[in-house]
Amino acid sequence: MPRIAGQLQQTGRKAAAGVLRTEWADAADTLVLDLRSAYAVKTLEKLQRTFRFLREGRGQLEVVDEVQLARSETFETALVTFGKWKQTAASKLTIGDRQGSVEVEIDTGGAAFTIRAEEIQEDRDGPPPTRIGIALEQPVKTATVRLTIRPVP
């Protein structure tokens, strides 16, 4: 989930996402969520996450976060993984291993960003998951971050 103005999402029923739109078709499925209720950020006017799964070729998943704020705030989106990962180019990550991996292409619309990895400490057996943060380097009033996730052949 995103981090807005330094805050991660809240928990509980009051923080549940609202479904704005669904579309199921042969070529692609789309789900659009309103995530504002998960954040106690008074300047947050819009936070939409769109999942779009395209079936063409090997398939791909697009995850698009759109944020709008009343004043400039910090914004970061993230991926969470139990797998190994590495940054392979300025705007690309590879997550997985020889048994299977995905390439993640990051599009911030030209905004400079930094990758920040942190282990998520939880009460569970096994290795902890890693939160791979994609943090815009400058505060924003509006931003769109698109992650395109494709299987590596």
Q: Tens-digit pLDDT profile for the chain (153 aa)?
A: 899 999 989 888 889 999 999 999 999 999 999 999 999 999 999 999 999 999 999 999 999 999 999 999 999 999 999 989 999 999 999 999 878 999 999 999 999 999 999 998 877 777 889 999 999 999 999 999 999 999 998
pLDDT at 4: 96
| CA 70/CA 44 separation, integer angstroms | 7
pLDDT at 122: 76
How far is C-alpha 125 from the geometric centre of its chain's CA atoms?
25
| CA 153/CA 44 separation, integer angstroms | 40
pLDDT at 98: 78
Quick one: 38 exposed, middle or buried, by C-beta within 10 A (0-12, 13-18, 19+)? buried
pLDDT at 72: 97
pLDDT at 33: 97
